[in-house]
Structure 1
């Protein structure tokens, strides 16, 4: 497994598929997952694209360190590591695809290093939610983000294979669409990685950094026209995501200058896993724009 050069002490593990010189793509996973979330999408694209699939900081085979989450694991730090990897590989004009945490990191990358990117293809979370994140239905879904701030999360889950397996299984079944059932082998593979001592805590450092939807939605402000994300962006918005109802797509134009929404019917939160052909097709279309 190749690893990037270190940035701030973090190396990223990554897979690379396809042929160098083909249109480049970087695919960014979510929580509670790792780079294998994107395996089926990468397989769809590998024949015609140069596809890079990293583990983000603190996930999978990438480095994790006991550092201040705000400095080491937030969106800016995660995006800096992805940008450094693309620079190291000599890639530009890249389509960045991401979901969940990977979506936020891709959006941050588009704001910080727009010259690296050709387009974004992402799923929710998206800006524009605002105070709606405190509505009763949302509060019932986003409880885990408050739990992740507690030392109790580490005490109850970290390093305990049985607890990790149960915790991950909850999200992979509750957030997925009605026609999707994650295989036991997938849950076991993810649980094995997350159960290593320190791995669960490293994965929730994203939330402890302030990267979660609740913290970001309550703190967000509408940028001026010149400060909106200018990279052409496609949101793939699933039908059955309990976290992000489609009504929350109504304010994207306040944050992006060139944005489109494509409904992904039948899918839940894990669009690259549940509907990889749809995700890959959107990436391929964006690469041709």
Structure 2
């Protein structure tokens, strides 16, 4: 049996022309949307979502290009921009009957959440971003040999063709590498869930690369324009990260503080896959955020 979030109903929701998202919905109460990261699917939220569904309506989609959601062809720079994926998120919420939502994202999903918060401040009541820097800050922070930790960012930033071929030819090895090296707790992602991630990624190499390529192009343009205009996140924001700053030479809290005045920034001791490695910590942090 394919793993799923216990007690959640699954459906496909039309969010854009020719794009449907695979979505798990559970619980009742004020709405909270949870966006997954790389190389995962909505299943990364299985523990946290079940916890929060006791008093919230929890909505867990696969992002466009990932999991069982549609994977439109990259026929322009906007197809996988975080702005477009943020619009998917708001369209999903509206279709499910919610005009305003709390929004949390991890990794790639956090970049989508960040963009949604900037573009749609009236629709986002609270915002959480897990283990990521805003796109523009990320590229500015990477430099010298320390940037080798982000080799995949540079690989997938290349023009269409080579990266897709290289990754497709060794997809399980490529995606397994990140599941292994980014986790402090190797048992946090059990074999059945790991297999779901690998199968999903193997079937989505072009769209995953397109997502990363957008972050080396159009997403930077959007962030630069907002920074130049002085735009900030206006809702309560919580950021949880590993402490990579010392190794890469940046102060994460200061970088995030430039984007959000009402910010709670904290570091966690688990690995990158914190919603799976420390679900109680993440659930509590989200409850604390929603109480602000």
Using the TM superposition, give the Cα deviation of residue 176 of structure 1 relative to its aligned residue in structure 2, in angstroms: 1.7
Looking at secondary structure, tell me which structure has more strand per residue: 2
Matched, 1:280 2:289: no
Q: CA offset at residue 181 of structure 1?
A: 5.5
Q: Report whether the alignment pairs 1:156 with 2:166.
A: yes
In structure 2, relative to structure 1, the CA distance for the partners of 1:134 and 1:221 (3 Å cut) is farther
Of the three residues 221, 227, 234, the one matched with 1:223 is 227
Q: 1:274 to 1:74 in 2, by over 3 A?
A: same
Q: What's the offset of the Cα at 1:183?
A: 2.9
Aligned to 1:206: 211
Tell me the CA shift for residue 179 of structure 1.
Answer: 6.8
Contact 1:122–1:235 (Cα < 8 Å) also in 2: yes
Q: TM-score with structure 2 length normalisation?
A: 0.85
Q: Does 1:247 align with 2:251?
A: yes
Distance 1:188 1:212 in 2: 29
Count of aligned residue pairs for this structure pair: 279
Q: Which residue of 1 aligns with 2:55?
A: 48
Match of 2:101 among 91, 94, 98: 94
1:83 aligns with 2:90: yes
1:131 equivalent among 113, 128, 140:
140
CA 1:35 to 1:86, structure 2 compared with 1: closer, same or farther past 3 Å?
same
Q: Which runs of 5+ in 1 are unaligned?
A: none
What RMSD, in angstroms, separates the aligned Cα atoms of the two structures? 2.8
Q: Deviations over 1:250-277 (max 9, x none)?
A: 2222111211112212x12112121111
**Counterpart of 1:62?**
69
Moved more, 272-281 or 184-193: 184-193
2:273 to 264, 270, 274: 270
